[in-house]
Structure 1
Amino acid sequence: MSHPRRAATRFAGSANGRVTAVHPGVAEVVHDGHLSRASYGGGLLADMARDPEREPRVGDRVRLTCWADGHVTVDRVVARPVAP
C-alpha cells in the first residue's frame, strides 16, 4: 500500500501547452486536447521574482508537469508570440 502523501506528489508526466487565460498565480492551459488550471511551479516563481516579465501570458507556449493526483504546474515559458 502506498503512502497517501507520497502518492499525492508522484510525478505522472510532462507536456507542452498554450496559455489561454491568466489569473493571479494560475494559468488556464490547453494541452493534449484538455483545458487545465495550472499553478506556477517553484522554478517559475523564482524566475518571476528575478524578472516579472517571465510570468506566463495568454498565447505563451509553456512546459507543464502533470502530477499523479491530477494537479498541473507550469514549469517555464518555452515560447512567447511576437507581436506583428
Structure 2
Amino acid sequence: MGRYFFHTTDGTAERDEMGFDLPDDDAARREAVRFGGGLLSDDPDMIRNDKGLRIDVIDEAGRLCFAVIVLAVEANRNESARA
C-alpha cells in the first residue's frame, strides 16, 4: 500500500496535499482516470481552453508515476473546401 497524489492542471495548477492510499501503481492509474472523469462530469468546459486537463500521479517518494492528459481538439470545418 502506498500514498499517491493527484496534481491537476487545467490552465491553473492544483496540488493534492492529502493523497490516497492505494495498493499499487495500477490502482493509482485507475483512480486517476476515475478522478479525471469526475472532474469532467462536474465541469465539462474545463477542457475548452487550449491547455486541456492533466493529472500527474506522484507516489510518496515524489516520483511521477504517470500522467492522464485530456485534450479537446476543435476541427476546422470549412464547408467550401469539401465542395
In terms of fraction of residues, the more strand-rich structure is: 1
Structure ranking higher in helix proportion: 2
- TM-score, structure 1 as length reference: 0.30
TM (normalized to structure 2)? 0.30
Question: In terms of Rg, which structure is larger?
Answer: 2
